[in-house]
Amino acid sequence: MTPPNFDPRAALLISASRLRRSVSSILAASILLLSWSALQAQTAPSAASASPTLKLIVPFTPGTGIDLIARSLGPRLSQRLNRPVVVENRVGASGNIGTEAVVRAAPDGNTLLVSVNTLVMNRSLYSGLSFDPVRDLAPVVLTSWGQLLLVTHPKTGFKTALDLVKAAQSQPGRINYASPGVGTPHHLSMELFKNTAKVYLTHIPYRGTAPAVSDLLGGQVDAMFLPIHVALPQIRAGRLVALGIGSEQRHPLLPDVPTLAEAKAGKVNVDMWYGIFAPKGTPAEMVNVFNKEIRSILASEEIKRAFQPQGMDPSSSTPEEFGQLVAKDAQRWAELIKTQGIKAE
């Protein structure tokens, strides 16, 4: 029943006024909420910046294959883990300074070592180390393999590795070889070759790869083991001759170069592994997370293209598989170093 003196037009006006006030209140509240959210977004740190920085320690100089691995993985690992990742080069003492920094680091998932098989060689070369580079690190993942070529200067006249072996057998000690220094993979690879072929070549150690290669190109030394990416341009230019590859199979970049076994110079495998370690005691859960994310990165074509110019082939493993490889390789080089009587200078 309509009350007396009811004016429908006045009622509509009152309702419309109330509706406008309600909408205005809702809009004002929404604007205030959006402003507060924007302020919070500006002042609150992001999840990545709030996370502790992950350090990838490289125990060798920038520009090396190990450094390339770290700098290729770093940004991609940062994206996957949503945390900052930095590469630090801790150089010196054949990699021992950087290695020890990781050995002494807290096992909290904030420090990793990017290294090469020099790690296990140093274990036997440096008896005075205050740490064990094998027992005091936790293997995380194998990242790649690199191959070494046995090369010579054209003036030697050697065409095959067997030619070199026969010449060394006929005149022990007359043929010499260069290396970047005592205990380097180049040096120990030649010592393994000598031990396998039962020949004697005179070692001429240098302070670094550059001066050694310079004298090899100048004909002052006769032979040397070199990484593929270092030797390849000189081989293609005719300034060096590839005698064989120290691996179990030929390499796609040099398909016509035989393995040392194929060249009848002995079964000599001097493949270099590269990999990542964490401080001993790092929780298995953290190690497994790193392993999973790094393996995914290594499987990409982008990484394959990045590694190729350095003569490295991406690979991967579980932490357990990598640990077994490291232990086996450590034993192999320890036996050679003892047999050949090699001591670090």
What per-residue confidence (pLDDT) applies to 274? Answer: 97
Give Cα 101 to chain centroid, integer Å. 17
- Give the model confidence (pLDDT) of 57-93 as tens digits: 999 989 888 999 999 999 999 999 999 999 999 998 8
Assess whether pLDDT exceeds 80 at residue 282: yes
What per-residue confidence (pLDDT) applies to 63? Answer: 85
Q: Report the chain's mean pLDDT, rounded to a whole number.
A: 87
Q: Would you place residue 8 in the very low, low, confident or very high pLDDT band (cuts 50, 70, 90)? A: very low
Q: What is the mean pLDDT of residues 266-272?
A: 93
Q: Which residues touch 310 (CB under 8 Å, ≥6 apart)? A: 65, 68, 146, 227, 229
- Give the model confidence (pLDDT) of 92-146 as tens digits: 888 999 999 999 999 999 999 999 999 999 999 998 888 998 899 999 999 999 9
What per-residue confidence (pLDDT) applies to 127? Answer: 83
What's the predicted TM-score (pTM) here? Answer: 0.81
What per-residue confidence (pLDDT) applies to 5? Answer: 52
- Give the model confidence (pLDDT) of 244-265 as tens digits: 999 999 998 999 999 999 999 9
Q: What is the mean pLDDT of residues 198-205?
A: 96
Q: Which residues touch 245 (CB under 8 Å, ≥6 apart)? A: 147, 148, 149, 150, 228, 251, 254, 257, 258, 259, 260
Inter-axis angle of helices 65-81 and 284-298, nearest 10: 110
Q: What is the mean pLDDT of residues 31-50?
A: 41
Q: Which domains does the chain have, with CATH numbers?
A: 48-146+271-340 (3.40.190.150), 148-245 (3.40.190.10)
Q: Contact 83/53 with Cβ under 8 angstroms?
A: yes
